Amino acid sequence: MKVEDPNEFFKYTGMTVPIFNTLLEMVKPHIIAKHHFPDHVGPEERLALTLHYLSQGCSMQAIAWTYHLGHATVHTIIKSVVEIIWNVLHEVYLKPPSSEGEWRLIAKQFETT
């Protein structure tokens, strides 16, 4: 993705360009696989508009206006990309406890804080 100003990119997406590119490489195959039809909104743009929505808390309508897309299209893109991000990252970053001992340790840590 061509970035003119890394600081503005960070303000827009909530992440640095290298982190964005790493995340893009992780989710891009899933974004492409999920959308078999020709589309003018590529994986980079889908990820960027989703991250903008998540990091800035702006409305889907505002994103639709910014990207010159329909509200329903933006809703579909964001829902799809968020689901893909979850599916790709949750086992690494939000791995659930796999044993009773892990659950007890978490409960103990919770109770002591």
Residue with tokens 């589309």: 39
pLDDT for the residue numbered 74: 94
Compute the average pLDDT of residues 80-88: 96
Q: What is the largest CA-CA distance in the chain?
A: 54
Q: Rounded mean pLDDT of the chain?
A: 90
Our separate counts of H helices and E strands in the chain read: 6, 0
pLDDT band at 36 (very low <50, low <70, confident <90, very high): low
pLDDT for the residue numbered 52: 96
